[in-house]
């Protein structure tokens, strides 16, 4: 995240946050009109695609000029429902010569292919010798390396979207939305993390990545249109309620929830005193098979492990379990002030899907004066944390992307200490603001939703907001909007008196404009700091009923009832 000055504001205004929304309102009107036009077209096409047609296969040679004209008009109508209609139409126009009729699923995959090629082109830019020649310090070099990694992640998520599936299947649509949302987040994280001193190079990168960011956004918007029009068909779920993904067997669950000695049932044991096979977590991870379908358990005995750990994308279904959140601690001290980009400061970074951590502590010990210093970065799908502690100051917990769940964890920090753009639920956790630097104000969350079609947001559910130490005055805010569609809710949580009556803080400090497109809400909270009578009067601060609040539960936000049960972690699926 951008650096902050003495009271937690960024050093430069974020130009991406609009101060007014007339264009947004105009775009919404266009989208609404386009949706009406598309209603019959897409519904009939999806029905024909899914249920078959009695007319038999069409001869491509019989495609007439009138058919091509109709297809162009239909594509234009679909593209008018995206944020970038010009690039959408340009990328889909070649489809007119490849298809004899409107097949929304085929057009969606056509748009995915365009996004994939654009990301590949942008990734190649960073291999250009002139780019490397423009970099003269370690921070800039690291930010370029981060971009390469992030574009690789974005390409992987796009590739996932090519998996075969049924567009009347709710779980399939959820997966596609999640992967596209993550890809968009990856691309923007690259742009956000580039060294501000690289003015000319940063401008070149922004131009180079324009196609990839726009085309990926367009693919998500097209998917949303398909979802909207097939939903009346009554979605079928790929995984029935209560079923679980194949990467966690019943035997795994029994092993994880039993109370027997971890040293006997783990695949690898790490111990500082030499009583395990490995002395470091990194050494144990080196033995994890790639893309493993079964759980690989690493037991880390008590002690403080001074290392920066990465769970790579190829390390599937890893579980790390310790002797307690205060007994087994992973500690690092990389930070922004000393020359490391925020994305690379994490003491513990998770990219491999199906990850579980239990009874572990994660710490960045750089200190408050070092600004951004991440304890945990999670960019992994189906990631879960149970009985864990996350301890730092600014940017403690980076819930970067994909689907994540945290249960009964302790989270300490000052500025934006829960941030990112994942679909994430924190349930029954203790959120513990620490004393900020003089002149600073604590902000618990900074959610980074960039695109209105992303299925992301931070949900704080049944948690306790309590001071980690004595705080001089109520200088704690529930959050501030990092991006234009920032989405954060606090539900059924105990809020102590440390929270400022205004509740929320603009990104650029008191009195600064706030985009009307954010979604912030408080639902059925209690405690001396929960009163909403003196809250800020922002258009984006919403009042939810129970139906809306259910959207931000484990079941509603990311279908957690289908994958959390076999982790062995307790959870509440609803409010």
Active site residues: 416
Residues in the chain: 575
What DSSP assignment string belongs to 381-432?
Answer: TTEEEES-EEE-SBT-EEE-SSEEEEES-EEEESEEEEEESSEEEEES-EEE
- Cβ proximity of 100 and 64 under 8 Å: no
- Cβ proximity of 514 and 485 under 8 Å: no
**544 vs 157: CA distance, rounded Å:** 32
Chain position carrying tokens 């189906």? 382
**80 vs 232: CA distance, rounded Å:** 22
- Cβ proximity of 158 and 112 under 8 Å: yes
Distances (CA, A) of 371 to 80, 368, 436: 42, 6, 11
Give the closest residue to 386 by CA, choosing from 359, 413, 348, 351. Answer: 359
Please state, as a whole number, how many other Cβ atoms lie within 10 Å of the Cβ of residue 126.
Answer: 16
**125 vs 147: CA distance, rounded Å:** 10
548 half-sphere exposure, CB direction, 13 A CA radius: 13
Element (H, E) at 519: strand 519-523
C-alpha radius of gyration, the chain, whole number: 24
């Amino acid at each position: 995240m951008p650096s902050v000055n003495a009271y937690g504001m960024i050093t430069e205004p974020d130009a991406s946050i609009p101060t007014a929304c007339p264009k947004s309102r105009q775009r919404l009107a266009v989208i609404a009109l386009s949706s009406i036009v598309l209603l019959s077209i897409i519904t009939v096409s999806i029905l024909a695609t899914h249920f078959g047609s009695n007319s038999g296969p069409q001869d491509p040679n019989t495609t007439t000029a009138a058919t091509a004209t109709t297809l162009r008009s239909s594509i234009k109508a679909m593209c008018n429902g995206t944020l970038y209609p010009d690039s959408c139409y340009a990328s889909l126009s070649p489809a007119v010569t490849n298809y004899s009729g409107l097949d929304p699923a085929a057009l969606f995959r056509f748009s995915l292919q365009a996004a994939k090629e654009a990301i590949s082109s942008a990734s190649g830019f960073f291999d250009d010798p002139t780019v490397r020649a423009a970099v003269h310090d370690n921070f800039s070099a690291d930010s370029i390396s981060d971009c390469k990694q992030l574009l690789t992640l974005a390409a992987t998520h796009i590739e996932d979207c090519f998996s075969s599936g049924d567009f009347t299947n709710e779980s399939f649509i959820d997966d596609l939305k999640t992967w596209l949302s993550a890809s968009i987040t990856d691309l923007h994280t690259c742009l956000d993390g580039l060294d501000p001193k690289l003015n000319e190079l940063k401008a070149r990168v922004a131009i180079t990545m324009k196609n990839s960011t726009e085309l990926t956004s367009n693919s998500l918007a097209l998917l949303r249109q398909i979802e909207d029009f097939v939903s009346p068909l009554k979605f079928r779920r790929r995984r029935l309620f209560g079923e679980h993904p194949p990467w966690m067997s019943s035997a795994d669950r029994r092993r994880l929830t039993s109370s027997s000695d971890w040293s006997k049932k783990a695949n690898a044991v790490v111990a500082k005193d030499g009583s395990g096979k490995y002395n470091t977590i990194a050494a144990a991870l080196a033995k994890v098979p790639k893309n493993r379908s079964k759980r690989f358990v690493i037991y880390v005995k008590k002690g403080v492990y001074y290392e920066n750990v990465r769970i790579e994308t190829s390390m599937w279904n890893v579980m790390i379990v310790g002797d307690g959140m205060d007994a087994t601690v992973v500690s690092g001290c990389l930070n922004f002030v000393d020359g490391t980009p925020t994305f690379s400061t994490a003491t513990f970074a998770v990219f491999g899907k199906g990850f579980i951590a239990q009874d572990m502590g994660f710490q960045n010990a750089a200190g408050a004066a070092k600004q951004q210093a991440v304890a945990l970065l999670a960019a992994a799908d189906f990631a879960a944390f149970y009985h864990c502690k996350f301890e730092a100051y600014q940017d403690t917990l980076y819930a970067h992307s994909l689907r994540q769940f945290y249960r009964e964890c302790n989270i300490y920090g000052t500025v934006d200490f829960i941030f990112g753009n994942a679909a994430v639920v924190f349930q029954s956790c203790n959120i513990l603001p620490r004393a900020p630097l003089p002149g600073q104000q604590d902000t618990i969350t900074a959610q980074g939703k960039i695109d209105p079609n992303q299925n992301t947001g931070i949900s704080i559910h049944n948690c306790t907001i309590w001071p980690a130490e004595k705080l001089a005055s109520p200088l704690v805010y529930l959050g501030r909007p990092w991006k234009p569609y920032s989405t954060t809710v606090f539900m059924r949580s105990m809020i102590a008196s440390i929270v400022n009556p205004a509740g929320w803080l603009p990104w650029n400090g008191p009195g600064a404009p706030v985009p009307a497109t954010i979604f912030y809400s408080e639902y059925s909270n209690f405690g001396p700091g929960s009163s909403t009578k003196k809250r800020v009067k922002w258009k984006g601060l919403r009042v939810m009923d129970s139906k809306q609040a259910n959207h931000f539960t484990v079941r509603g936000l990311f279908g957690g009832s289908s994958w959390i049960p076999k982790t062995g972690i307790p959870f509440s699926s609803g409010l």
